[in-house]
Amino acid sequence: MVNPMKDSDLDIQSIDTTLYNEDLAPIPHSKRSWGWFEIFNVWSNDIQSLFGYTLAASLFLTYGLNGWAVMAAIILAGVIVMYLVNLTGKPSVKYGIPFPVMIRASMGVRGANFPAMLRAIIGIFWYGVQTYFASTAVALLITALFGAGDGSTFLGLSGVAWVSFVIVWVFQIAIFWQGIDRIKHFLNWAGPLVYLVMVALMIVVWVQAGDELLPAVATIFSASGEHSGSSIAAFLAIVGTMVAYFAAVVINFGDFTRFVRSEREMKLGNLLGLPLNVAFFSFIALIITAGTLVLFGEALTNPADIVERVDSLPLTIVAALTFFAATVGINLVANFIPPAYDLANLFPSKISFKMGGLITAIIAFFVGALWVSVISQIGVPGFVNALGAIVAPFYGIIVVDYYLVKRQHLDMEQLFSSDPAGAYHYVKGWNSKALAAFGMAALFSISTVLIPTLSDLNGYGWLIGAGLGGLFYHFLMRSHKVAIASTQP
C-alpha cells in the first residue's frame, strides 16, 4: 500500500491518528490498478458459489412461474443491483476511500463505527460458515483420492473434514496476507475458470440428455411450482430474493471501487457482471437442472449431488477444485475484505487491513469449526440474518447523504479530523439525526425477519428498509442540507 501522505491532498497537521491509517486513507488515481474485468470478477465469484448455483437453479422450480418469467425476474434483479452499486461505488471511485470512511460523512467520524461493526459481525460469521462449505469441496477431493478415513468424528467433523477445513483456512490467510493485489489475481483466475467448468458441465449434460433435454426444459417451464399467491407476487419475490442475495456487497461496494481507475470502468464491470452475468449463469443452471431431470429422474439443484450421482473420479476432481475456487472467491469478496476494513476503522492506529483480516480469520475459525455441531443447531443464522436486515437502512442513508445532502462533495481532511468544529463531527462524533433515521427504518426491516405476518416481505424487505432509511434521513437532515448548500461554491 502506498503512503497516502505523499500522494494525496491530505494535510498531515489535520489528521487524527485515531481515525487514520494508510489502509483507510484515500488511494490516488495514479496508484489504482483495477478495471472493468476486476469488477466483473467480483460479481462472477459472488454468484458462482455453491449457494449461488443452488439458488439460481431452485428459483426455476419453486415459484410456480413460467421459466421465462423467472429469467426476466432474475435479470431485473441484476439491473436493480447494478444501479444500487453504481450509486454506492461512485464516491469511492472519486475519492479512493473504503466504506467505513465513506459513512463517516453521514454517521459522524465516531458514529461510523456502529454500522461498520454491524457489517463486520455479519461478515465474520459468514466468513467462517463459507470457509466450512469451501472445505467440503476439499473433503470431496481428498475422499475421492484417498478414501473417507475411519469414520470417527470430533464436533461433528470427520478427520478428513478437519484436515480440509484447516487447509482452506490457511489457504485464505495466505492469499490475503499478500495484500489486495493477490486477492485481485485470485478473483481474476477463479471467475473465468468456474465459468469454463460450468459451461463444460452444461455441454456434457446436454449431450448425455440428447433429444430429451428440451422437453425437460419445457417441464421446468410449465409453472408447476408450489408457491401460493399471484404471479406478480411470485415475480416480485424472485426479484427480492436475488437482490437480497447481493445485499452483503451492495452497502460496502466502495471497498472495491476505491481501487478502480474510473467510474466508466466501474459501470462497465457492473453491467457485464450483474444483469448479463446473472442471466447467462442462470441459463447454465437451467440447462444443467433440466439435464439432471432427464439423467436421474429428478431435478437436482446442488452441484455436489450432481457430481455424486455421476460417480466419475475425473469429474469429482475438477468439480471439487471448481467449487473450492468459487466458494473461496465469494468468501474473500463478501466476507473478508469488508470486516478487515471495518475492524481497521475501529482502532486505525492499532489495527491495519492485514491485522483486521487476521482477527476476522481467527474468530471465523471457531464459527466454521462449530458450524455442524453447535451453531447450525441453535438458530444463530437467524440472528445474523436479522443483523443483515438491520443494516439495510444504512444504504439509503449513505446514498441520500452523498447525493442530496452533501451534493457529491466531501472534504477528505474532515473525514480524518476529530475537531469539534469539523464538518463530520456533529455531536461528539455522532450524527443523532442519522441514528434516528436508522432506528426508525430498522424497526421495519427487522420486522420482516421476526414477525411471521410480515414474512412475505423478508425477500424485498431489504429494499424497503433501505428506502425508508434514505427517506427518514432526508427529512431529518433538511436544515443541515440548507446549511451545507450555503457554504459550498
DSSP class per residue in 195-245: HHHHHHHHHHHHHHHGGGHHHHHHHHTT------S-HHHHHHHHHHHHHHH
| 400: nearest Cα among 437, 427, 428, 447 | 437
CATH architecture, range 25-392: Orthogonal Bundle (1.10)
Give residue 224's pLDDT: 55
CA atoms within 13 A on the CB side of 10: 28
pLDDT at residue 448, rounded to an integer: 78
Cell 426508525 identifies what position?
440
Which of 382, 407, 395 shows the shortest CA–CA distance to 487? 407
Report d(CA 433, CA 179) in Å as an integer: 37
**pLDDT score at 382:** 60
Buried b (16+ CB within 10 A) or exposed e, 323-359: bbbbbbbbbbbbbbbbbbbbbbbbebeebbbbbbbbb
CB neighbours of 451 closer than 8 A, spacing ≥ 6? none
Contact 86, 395 (CB under 8 A): no
> Could you tell me which residues come within 8 angstroms of residue 390 by beta carbon, excluding any fewer than 6 positions away?
118, 442, 445, 446
Distance separating alpha carbons of residues 388 and 266, to the nearest angstrom: 25
Determine contact, residues 339/104, Cβ cutoff 8 Å: no
- Angstrom distance (rounded) from CA 173 to CA 169: 6
Q: What pLDDT score was predicted for residue 327?
A: 82
Show Cβ contacts of residue 442 under 8 Å, excluding neighbours closer than 6 positions.
389, 390, 392, 393, 465, 469
Spatial separation of the C-alpha atoms in residues 36 and 32, rounded to whole Å: 12
d(CA 257, CA 254): 5
Confidence at residue 122, expressed as pLDDT on a 0 to 100 scale: 86
What pLDDT, on the 0 to 100 scale, is given for residue 473? 97
State which amino acid sits at residue 283.
Answer: F
Do 393 and 107 form a contact (C-beta atoms < 8 A)?
Answer: no
Q: Using alpha carbons, select from 354, 335, 356 the residue that is nearest to residue 345.
A: 356
The span from the CA of 55 to the CA of 53, in Å, is: 5
What nine digits make up the cell of 233?
407476487
Amino acid at 462: W
Separation of alpha carbons 426 and 420, rounded Å: 8
Q: How many CB atoms lie within 10 A of CB 186?
A: 21
* Global confidence as pTM: 0.85
**C-alpha cell recorded at residue 288:** 444443467
Q: Cα separation of 176 and 405, whole Å?
A: 36
Q: What is the share, in percent, of the chain residues with pLDDT greater than 90?
A: 36
The rounded percent of the chain whose pLDDT value lies above 70 is: 88
In the predicted model, residues of the chain with pLDDT beneath 50 are 1-8, 482, 485-487, 489
CB 265 within 8 A of CB 93: no
- Per-residue model confidence (pLDDT) at position 105: 96
